[in-house]
Amino acid sequence: MQNTDFTLEIPQGTPRYLTIGWLGLALASLVIGGLLTILIVLSRTPFFQEIIPWIDFFHTALVVHVDLTVLVWFLAFAGVFWSLISRTRCLCGWLPLLFAVVGTILMSIAPFMGEGHPVMSNYVPVLQMPLFLGGLGLFGLGFTLLVLHGLMTSHPLNLGENGAGALRFGLFTALLTALIAIMALIWSYSDIASENISGQYYYELLFWGSGHVLQFTHTQLMLVAWLWLASVLGVGRFVSPRVAIMLFALGMAPTLLTPWIYWSYDVTSPSHIVTFTWLMQYGGGLAALPLGLMLVLGLMKGAIFSPERSALIFSILLFAVGGIIGFLITGSNVTVPAHYHGSIVAVTLAFMGITYHLMPRLGFREIKGKWAQWQPAILGTGQLLHVLGLAWSGGYGVPRKTAGAAQGLESIQQQVGMGLMGLGGMIAIIGGIIFLVLVFMAMRPQKNQ
C-alpha cells in the first residue's frame, strides 16, 4: 500500500537554522517592499513629492518594490524548501544566505542614494546605478550558490512509493529548473555582450530566457506546497506518490528545450522571444492542471476550515484564473499583468499556507484564530477582483505599464474595470499586511511559564 503522506520531517542542526534564515529573508523582503509601497504613494502626493530631491522617485522605488516582493520573496522561499532536504553540516551552507542578505540590503537602500535611472524591464526591473546592480549581482550569486549547494547536499532521491520521496523529487526538479534558468542568464549575457545594446532593450534580452524558465521553478515549488498542504488537510490520499512523481517530471520537461532555443535562435531575434513565450504559455500548466483538479475533488469532501485549507483553495483558483487569462492575451495591454498577477499570487498563497504549517515546527508559536483563517481568503478574493478588473480593462484596450492620464480611460467599461482592479488591489494589500502581522507576532519570544 502506498504511503500518501506528502510531508517532510523538519531537519535538526544546520539545515533547520538555514530554513529559518531563508524564511526570515523572505518575510523581510515583503516588509521592506510594503514600506516602499507607502513611499511610492507619497512620491505622487502633493507637498510630500516636493521633499524628495531627485527625479522619478516613483519608478525608482517601484523597481525595488517589484524585485523584493517577487524576485527576493520567491527565491528566498525556495531556500526554505531546499534547506528542508539538505544534509549539510558545514558552515558553507550559510554563504549563499549571506550573499543574498547583503544583496537585498544594497538593493533596498539604493532608492535613497540618488537618481536611479529606473528601467522597467520584464521579470527583473533594474536601477542603472552601481549600488543597485551590485546588490542584484550579490543576490544572484547567493541564489546560484544556493542551487549548487542544494544539488550537492540534497538527500538521495527515493522514488519509492511514499509521499515524502515524491516531495523530495519535486524539490529536486525545482533545483534543476533553477540551474537551467541560471545557465540561460549566462548564455544571454554572453550572446549580447558583443552587441551594441543598452537601456531597457538590453535588460529585456538579458532576463527574457532565464525569467521564463524561472517561472517553472516557482510552479514546481507551488506544486510541492499544494501536495504538502493537501496532506495536512487529509486530502493527499487522492494523489498517489507515483502520479505525483510523474507530474513533477512533466512540470519540468518543457525547460529541457531551453538549450535548443538558444542554439536555434539568436537572443536578439523575434523567434527567440516568441518561443520562450510559447514555452511558458503552453507548458507552464502541464502538471498544475491535473494536480489541481485532483486536489479540488479531495477538498470537496473535506470540511476543515483552517489557514492551510483557505490558502490551498485560493492558490488553485488564482492559478487557474491566471492560466485562462494567459490564453486571452492579444497585444500589450493590461491583460498581460492580469495573467501574471494571478499566477504570482497563487504561488504566494501556497507559500503562505506552508508558512502557517511550518511555524510551530520551527519552534515558533502556532498561528491560529479567525484572522489566520480568513487571511488567505481576504488576499485571494482581493487579488481575484484585481485580476478580473485588469482582464476586463485589457479587453477594452487599456495599455500596460501606464498610470494616470496616460491610461486613456475614456469609456465607462474601462473606468469600471480599472476601478475594480484598484478595489481588489487594496483588499489584497490588507490581506498581505494581516499575514505579516500574524507571522511576526508568532515569532515573538515566548515568555517563561
Encode pLDDT of 333-364 as tens digits.
667 777 778 889 999 999 999 999 999 999 99
Whole-number Cα distances in Å, 400 to 15, 18, 396, 422: 42, 39, 12, 15
Model confidence pLDDT, tens digit, residues 208-221: 999 999 999 999 99
pLDDT at 81 over 70: yes
Model confidence pLDDT, tens digit, residues 182-203: 999 999 999 998 778 888 899 9
Q: Residue 440: what pLDDT?
A: 94
Q: Residue 67: what pLDDT?
A: 94
Q: Residue 176: what pLDDT?
A: 97
Q: Residue 138: what pLDDT?
A: 97
Q: What is the pTM of this model?
A: 0.91
Coil, strand or helix: which one is 137?
helix
Task: Kindly report the number of other CB atoms within 10 A of residue 302's CB atom.
Answer: 13
Q: Residue 40: what pLDDT?
A: 64
pLDDT at 151 over 80: yes
pLDDT at 241 over 70: yes
pLDDT at 290 over 50: yes
Q: Residue 12: what pLDDT?
A: 87
Per-residue pLDDT, averaged over 302-326, amounts to 86
Per-residue pLDDT, averaged over 140-163, amounts to 86
Higher local confidence (pLDDT), 434 or 58: 434
Rounded Cα gap, residues 315 and 321, in angstroms: 10
Q: First and final CA of the chain: distance in angstroms?
A: 44
Per-residue pLDDT, averaged over 128-139, amounts to 96
Rounded Cα gap, residues 6 and 348, in angstroms: 20
* DSSP 8-state secondary structure symbol assigned to residue 156: P
Helix (H), strand (E) counts: the chain? 16, 2
pLDDT at 408 over 90: no
If you write DSSP's letter for every residue of 226-287 in order, what string do you get?
HHHHHHHTT-GGGS-HHHHHHHHHHHHGGGGGHHHHHHHS-TTSHHHHHHHHHHHHHHTTTT
Residue with cell 517563561: 448
Q: Give CATH for domain 304-444.
A: 1.20.120
Distance between alpha carbon 50 and the CA centroid of its chain, in Å? 34
Q: Residue 414: what pLDDT?
A: 61
Average pLDDT, the chain: 86
**pLDDT interval class at 310 (50, 70, 90):** very high
> Domain map of the chain by residue range?
1-155, 177-213+226-300, 304-444
Per-residue pLDDT, averaged over 270-295, amounts to 90
Coil, strand or helix: which one is 391?
helix
Per-residue pLDDT, averaged over 167-193, amounts to 95
> Among residues of the chain, what percentage have pLDDT more than 70?
85
**pLDDT interval class at 387 (50, 70, 90):** confident
Q: Residue 338: what pLDDT?
A: 77
- Rounded to 5 degrees, φ, ψ at 159 are -90, 25
Per-residue pLDDT, averaged over 85-90, amounts to 80
Q: Residue 239: what pLDDT?
A: 87
Rounded Cα gap, residues 141 and 19, in angstroms: 19
The burial class, CB within 10 Å (0-12 / 13-18 / 19+), for 21 is buried
Rounded Cα gap, residues 353 and 284, in angstroms: 22
Model confidence pLDDT, tens digit, residues 253-264: 999 999 999 999
Q: Residue 1: what pLDDT?
A: 44
